[in-house]
Amino acid sequence: MMKSFLSTTLDFAFPWACGLCGTGDTKLRSGAFCCDCQQQLTRPIENSCQRCAAEVGRFVATSDGCVHCRKSRLKFDSVTCLGMYDEAMRRVILSSKWSFSAVGITALAQLFASAAGDRLKQLDVDLIVPIPQSWQKRIVRRFNSAQVVSEVLSKTINVPHDVHILRRRRNVRPQKRVPVQQRMQNQQDAFRIRDAHLLAGKRILVVDDVMTTGATCNEAVRMLRSHGAKACHVAILARVLDGSA
């Protein structure tokens, strides 16, 4: 009774609104999003690339990659994502990343955990490692989106996450301001490893918010493998196909 009373009181003082469309109809409420918006954000992907998670045609074979990644030297073993970086996902991620609160990213991470939790458990990873921010970004942003997602996934699949083992060695130009063909080079030597002994023989899940060419995660995985990681998988909220992020 007390929980119901507190919930009613909070809803009266701070009326609920969907994090995507803004509707205030609590009858359609489903967590941070209304039912319709949640369905948009968790739209099933009929066929995705086994190598980079890009959505491809229904009957396209992707065991050796797809048109988006076949020419790339990707060092991670697989990519798991919540969805494609379409209009709905783009709006939520952009508004959440620049928010003063981590509520939006947390809500997306919870949707991700619910939709892909079983698949992530099957990867049998030993450690979750988020992509770190540079100190410049930490000044202007209130939180690291990748770290928020990794915290939620850590609780879901019951695997520890370490926010210190992967560090930024240098600041790089924002990927969206770099031509797609130069993004791998832009990330070269961008990371360093702390406490490398913790990686020996471990299966790692690298977490980020979005992925376009895979350059950032690829460089992180290269460093992790060079310090003894046995296998490296990637988990992201959204897969971008047009170079817009």
> What is residue 45's DSSP assignment?
P
Interatomic CA distance for residues 55 and 72, integer angstroms:
17
Q: How many CB atoms lie within 10 A of CB 108?
A: 28
Q: What is the DSSP string of 102-128?
A: SHHHHHHHHHHHHHHHHHHHHT--SEE
Please give the structure tokens belonging to residue 90. 């783009």
Please give the structure tokens belonging to residue 58. 């229904």
Interatomic CA distance for residues 207 and 76, integer angstroms:
12
| Domains in the chain: ranges and CATH | 1-41 (no CATH), 46-239 (3.40.50.2020)
For position 128, what pLDDT does the model report?
98
Please give the structure tokens belonging to residue 158. 């019951």
Helices (H), 123-209: 135-140, 145-157, 183-186
For position 169, what pLDDT does the model report?
87
Q: Is the pTM of this model over 0.75?
A: yes
Kindly give, in sequence order, each residue whose CB lies less than 8 Å from that of residue 184, ignoring residues fewer than 6 positions away. Answer: 72, 213, 215, 218, 219
Half-sphere exposure of 241 (CA within 13 A, CB side): 16
3-state secondary structure 50-106: CCCCCECCCCCCCCCCCCCCCCCCCCCCCEEEEEECCHHHHHHHHHHHCCCCCHHHH
For position 123, what pLDDT does the model report?
97
For position 85, what pLDDT does the model report?
95
How far, CA to CA in Å, does 22 sit from each of 26, 51, 74? 11, 36, 39
Q: Which pLDDT tens digits describe the chain residue by residue (245 residues)?
A: 665 555 555 554 567 788 898 888 876 776 789 989 999 999 988 899 989 999 999 889 888 899 999 888 999 999 999 999 999 999 999 999 888 889 999 999 999 999 999 999 999 999 999 999 987 777 778 899 999 999 999 999 999 999 999 999 887 767 777 777 778 877 888 899 999 999 999 999 999 999 999 999 999 999 999 999 999 999 999 999 987 67
Kindly give, in sequence order, each residue whose CB lies less than 8 Å from that of residue 50, ignoring residues fewer than 6 positions away. Answer: 62, 63, 65, 78
List the beta bridge partners of residue 191: 168
For position 11, what pLDDT does the model report?
55
